[in-house]
Chains A and B, each alone.
Chain A
C-alpha cells in the first residue's frame, strides 16, 4: 500500500483494523523514516527493538477494543519512562533511568500503544526554539535552519516529518501550541489538572500540563481521551468522569459565540498574522458562529507575570538536582557545598541557570512581596478577565504566535525577544484554561501559521468541535518536502 506514515492516526488505526497493514510493518516503516531523518535531530533515544517486540506481540493477539491498538508512539523526553533513559534535554539528567512510568505514558500504553523513542526538547522545557537542549538543535522539517518551536520541538518536528503518527508534549507557557503552529500541526494544552503531572519532569508545577500533538483534530481527540484521567498520585488532578472526546466530535458550531479579544492585536504584529486571524473569523462566521468583541485588559501583563511565577516555581523544583541521589555529579568540589555548586553549574545550561537565578531572587527575603506576591495578584486579574468574558461567550479565537518559525540563532542573544514568542499562549497557562492551536495557513515564505481557540475550564470537547468544523472548511494542507532523507 501507499506510504502509511503520512496518514493520520485515525486512518492508520482504520487500516490496522482492516488488516491492510500490521503493527509490525507500521513500526518498521516509522523506524525507516527515523533512521533517514537523523539531520532533524528530533530523537534523544530510540527504542526500536522493544517497539518491534511489542508490535509482534500485538499482531499475534490483536485487540481492537483499545483506543490506540498497535500504535508506535514517540514521546517528549520530559516523561519518565520505566527503564528508559529520560533526560529532559539536560546534561544533569544525562544518565537518569527512571524506575517508574509517568501516568500519562502509562495511560497511552494501557490503550494499546508502545514506545518508539524519546524526543528532544528544550532543557527542562525552558525555551521556545529547542535551542536550549543539551542534545543539540532540532530542525523544523518545514525548512533547513528553521527552529521547530519549543519546548516540545522534537515532538513537533517528528510529527510533521512522519516519524511518529502522533505525539505528546508539555505546555507551561506555550510549549505545545507554539511548536504546533510552527510545523503546521495540531496541539492542545488541556485544562490544568486534566492530565496527570505524575512522572513528568517538573518545570513550573502550577502551569505545567501535558497534551497531545497530532496531524488532525480527530487524532487530537483520540490522544486526549487516551492520556487524560484522574490520578490520585497528582494532588492537583481533577476527579471527574472520563469523556469520549473522539466519539462525541461534532462539526456543527451554529450559534456558538466566539470572543475576539482586542488586546491580542499587538503592536508590530505582521500583517500576515492579522490576515490569518481575519480568515479564521470569516470561516467560523460562515459556519454559523457569532463573533463577539471582548476585552481581556490585563493581557499585556501576562508575560511579565509568567516570568516571575514560572522561574520561582522552577527554582524550587530544580533544587532537587544536587548530584547526590541521581543525575550528573561534578568530579570537582572539595566539600559538599562546592560539589553542589559545581554539579549545578556544569549540569545546567545557560537558560536554565538564568531562570533559576530569577526565581531565587524573586523569592528571596526582602523581594518576595515586590515580585512573587505581586505576580500572584496580577495572575488573579488575568484569570478574572477570562472568567468575566466566559459568561458571555463559548470560546475565544486568537493567533497562536506573533510570527512563523524563525531561523536558528536568530533570537538566542536576546532572552526577552525569545520570551515574546509566547505572548499569545502564556495567558491561558496562568488561567489554567484549555487551548488548541490549529494549522490555518502559511505566510509569504510558505511557513505554517496557527490560530488558537481558548475554551472554558474542562470545555475541551467544545474547542475540539470548533476545531473540527474549522479544519473541514479551512483547506490547509501541510506540504512538507522530505528534503532531509
Chain B
C-alpha cells in the first residue's frame, strides 16, 4: 500500500508532531520507500507462527508493592521547563 500526504498528516497528528507543509512531500517519499522495503515480509506465510513477545524465556519479575522512595519532589521538578513551587506548569487546557 502507499501512504499519501493526508495519511501522513493524520499519523503526525496521532504522534503529536507538527509537520511543516513544505516537508510533507519529501517525508511522503521517504516513508513510502521505507514501507516498500518493510513489505517484503508479505512474502512469508506466518499463519501458524506464534508472535515473539519476549526474548527471555521468563515472565517479567514484579516487585513487592512497597514504597521504596519518596520525598524527591525537588529532584523531580528540577528539570521541568516551567514550574510553580510544587507543580509542573502547562499552557491553559480549559477555557
Contact = CB atoms under 8 A, between A and B. Distances in A.
Interface of A: 95-97, 99, 192-193, 206, 232, 235-236, 238, 298, 300-301, 303-305, 307-308, 315, 319, 322-329, 333-342, 344-345, 348, 353-354, 356-358, 360-361, 364, 371, 373-381, 383, 414-416, 419, 431-432
B67 interface: no
Nearest to A352: B17
Interface string B51-66: 1111110001111000
Contacts, number: 156
A336 B16 contact: no
B40 A300 contact: yes
Contacts of A337: 16
Interface of A is mostly: helix
Contacts of B35: 358
B41 A378 contact: yes
B50 A307 contact: no
B17 A301 contact: no
A269 to B, nearest CB: 18
B22 interface: no
B34 A415 contact: yes
B18 interface: yes
Contacts of B91: 333-336, 338-339
A329 B61 contact: no
Interface of B is mostly: loop
Interface of B: 3, 8, 11-12, 14-20, 27, 30-31, 33-35, 37-42, 44, 46, 49-56, 60-63, 72, 75-76, 78-82, 88, 90-93
A334 B93 CA distance: 10
A380 to B, nearest CB: 4
Contacts of A381: 44, 46, 49
Contact of B90 (A235, A324, A358, A419): A324
Contacts of B41: 301, 304-305, 308, 374-375, 378
Nearest to B93: A336
Contacts of A235: 60-62
Contacts of B27: 354, 357
Contacts of B93: 335-336
A325 B89 CA distance: 9
Nearest to A335: B91
